[in-house]
């Protein structure tokens, strides 16, 4: 019975070629092969395609090498090229990768998700991005505050004043969609400062002290 191995495909094409030379039409060729091989014969559409090939002078029984878009079977070289493009620019789009590699949309998507195990996510909003020095300074100040709290817990909040400030921009030029980047399933999402540069901005500063009462602790604003 005719199956799907390469050799048996060639044998089936040889039968189509022979019957075509005898003058059989596509339906007659399909009926002849179905009578011998039953459900394992080639489909009618396949018979039509190969009969057309023979009639246009393409007499080879093997598949011709394909040109144009690369396929996923191009081994690790294609996957590496896609990976390098993403690592070079985490915000690169699938269409740019298609242009650079010659792959189809579906092939790029399959490589990214099934081979590289990556997905594209939006940057997580945080109040601001701190430098390593600013992070170290915050750690040192927090430790000092804890030391003062342990030394005099009763008067600690009475003597404590707090302050915060933030730049308020007139508009945000970068949208959430633009900020999306590719990441692995096990890696953390990217961060970005919530406040972005724009044409104009003002700074808002708030100072306050902690006021304790018998029922609750509240923050009293000193001045805006």
pLDDT tens figures, 29-50: 888 888 887 777 777 878 887 8
Which pLDDT does position 52 carry in this prediction?
A: 79
Which pLDDT does position 9 carry in this prediction?
A: 73
Please tell me which residue, 140 or 30, carries the higher pLDDT value: 140
Which pLDDT does position 11 carry in this prediction?
A: 79
Number of Cβ atoms within 10 Å of the Cβ of 101:
18
Which of 84-93, 106-115, 139-148, 167-176 shows the lowest mean pLDDT across its residues?
167-176
**Residues comprising the chain, all counted:** 224
Contact partners, residue 26, CB within 8 Å, separation at least 6? 44, 47, 48, 51
For helices 26-37 and 44-55, give the axis angle rounded to 10 degrees: 130
- Grade residue 197 by pLDDT with cuts at 50, 70 and 90: low
Please tell me which residue, 40 or 111, carries the higher pLDDT value: 111
Paired strand residues for 201: 169
Contact partners, residue 13, CB within 8 Å, separation at least 6? 50, 61
Which pLDDT does position 63 carry in this prediction?
A: 60
pLDDT at 141 over 60: yes
Tell me the backbone φ, ψ of residue 92, rounded to 5 degrees.
-65, 145
Cα–Cα dist 52/211, whole Å: 90
Which of 9-13, 89-93, 105-109, 117-121 shows the lowest mean pLDDT across its residues?
9-13
């Amino acid at each position: 019975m005719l199956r799907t191995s390469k050799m048996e495909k060639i044998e089936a094409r040889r039968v189509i070629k022979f019957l075509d030379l005898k003058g059989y039409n596509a339906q007659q060729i399909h009926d002849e092969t179905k009578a011998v091989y039953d459900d394992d014969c080639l489909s009618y559409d396949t018979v039509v395609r190969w009969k057309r090939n023979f009639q246009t002078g393409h007499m080879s029984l093997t598949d011709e090498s394909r040109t144009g878009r690369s396929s996923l079977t191009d081994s690790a070289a294609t996957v590496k090229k896609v990976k390098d493009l993403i690592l070079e620019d985490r915000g690169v789009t699938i269409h740019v990768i298609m242009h650079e590699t010659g792959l189809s949309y579906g092939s790029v998507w399959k490589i990214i998700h099934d081979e590289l195990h990556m997905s594209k996510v939006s940057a997580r909003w945080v109040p601001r991005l701190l430098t390593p020095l600013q992070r170290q300074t915050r750690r040192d100040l927090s430790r000092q505050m804890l030391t003062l709290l342990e030394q005099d817990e009763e008067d600690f909040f009475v003597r404590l004043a707090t302050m915060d400030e933030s730049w308020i921009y007139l508009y945000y030029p970068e949208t959430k969609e633009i900020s999306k980047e590719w990441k692995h399933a096990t890696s953390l999402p990217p961060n970005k400062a919530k406040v972005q540069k724009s044409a104009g901005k003002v700074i808002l500063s708030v100072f306050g002290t902690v006021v304790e009462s018998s029922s609750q602790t509240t923050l009293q604003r000193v001045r805006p």
